[in-house]
Chains A and B, each alone.
Chain A
Amino acid sequence: MDMTGDCLIPAPRQAVWDALNDLAVLKEAIPGCESIEWTSPTEIDAVGTAKIGPVKASFKGAITLSDLDPPKAYTIRGEGKGGAAGFAKGGAKVRLEEEAEGTRLIYTVDASVGGKIAQVGGRLITAAAKKLADEFFARLGAVAAARAAGTA
């Protein structure tokens, strides 16, 4: 499935870019994230709990950053295993554009799921993925804006 979206963050592009590369910010933005750490300059390990409706699964994920074009764009890809629930992988191309009121963050997400969650949750996968993506970028925007306000 593919999803696109964008949000306006009232902060300069460099500040948004820094936030996008700051683990503390990513930790706050990834829904249910409990711990997160760099394993190389472009690779991150994350652990957390995802909860959507009746389903609640702990996940372990590996995140990779690529196509780095600071401070304009990068691609963030993740692959997570949720134990008995199944697995999910997905990526987002993130682009930052300067605007009069701040920075517009534009994202294109592709995601796929497999295992039990895909079998039993077929009718809700897209809606759930959209919810998580929207939540991630909304929180990312909020944290980036708060940081920029604090450091300005």
Chain B
Amino acid sequence: MHNFNYHRPKTLSEASEIFSGAEDAVYLAGGQTLIPTLKQRLRQPSDVIDLSHLAELRGIAVEKDAVVIGAMTRHGEVAASADVRRLIPALAHLAGEIGDPQVRNLGTLGGSLANSDPAADYPAAVLALGATIHTPTRTIAADDFFTGLFETALEPGEMIVKVSFPVPKRAAYMKFRNPASRYAVAGVCVADTVSGVRVAVTGAGPYAFRQTEMETVLSKSFTPGALAGIAVSEEDLNSDLHATAAYRAHLVGVMARRAVEALI
């Protein structure tokens, strides 16, 4: 690890002031990606800004028809939250399946989303549930948030404050996980929401995306059989040492079917 200046601001404005005044600053959320990257010297920031003392970024609140989760809320807290388990059990289930207990006790919702790792779990739920991402200055719809491999609509220095998840009628998340990292080789979140059926895929492509073909057929008939005729295209899907694009395309179909089966 190289030397850097460490900051632990107490307010949002202090955090963004430090960011804009530094040569090459990074925000530190749960550190589950950033810290290993620093240790490997694959990143050499001049300043690290630890967000763990920002009270505005913590906590889970129930608002009208939505569960609002602070960006620095740990995966373990979401998994254990009575409110999340009661209103959006799929989200609690998803959070409880991320990594291992060590990762869940440090990793955060905001960190996962801002990083937009193609194999992260949260992006699937954010997209399928039609969540809204709040930053200090604006709100971003889930559909506009993920823009590329490790890329989001966030501007440099812009952080996530909280995420508002509308409560769905029913939702389920199923993933085929890598047995070592527990990352999603392919994960599918199916949500029956007030604005229709939404299906989001993570792990398979360069970033999380919606599977509109499945949404269309499930809107007509919410049954596993409705998905039978859909051949998921392997085009633009990831190939790596864990799985080929064709295998990932197949897994997307299987995970979607399992998610629907879990809901009927």
Contact = CB atoms under 8 A, between A and B. Distances in A.
A54 B118 contact: no
A127 B238 contact: yes
B120 to A, nearest CB: 11
Given A53-B149, A127-B118, A127-B206, A85 B240 contact: no
B221 interface: no
Interface residues of A, number: 20
Interface in B30-81: 33-34, 36-37, 40-44
Interface in A106-148: 116-117, 120, 122-128, 130-131
A123 B42 contact: no
Contacts of B118: 124, 127
Contacts of B148: 131
B212 interface: no
Contacts of B40: 84, 116, 120
A55 interface: yes
Contacts of B241: 122-123
A53 B240 contact: no
Contacts of B239: 126
* Most chain B CB atoms below 10 A, which of A125, A127, A128: A127
Interface in A29-56: 52-56
A contact patch SS: helix
Contacts of A56: 24, 42-44
B149 A128 contact: yes
B240 A55 contact: no
Contact of A85 (B42, B149, B206, B238): B42
Nearest to A130: B206
B242 A131 contact: no
A57 B240 contact: no
B240 A54 contact: no
Nearest to B240: A123
B105 to A, nearest CB: 20
Interface string B233-250: 000001111100000000
B84 interface: no
A126 B115 contact: no
Given A53-B115, A53-B149, A54-B33, A84 B240 contact: no
A85 B34 CA distance: 15
Contacts of A123: 119, 183, 240-242
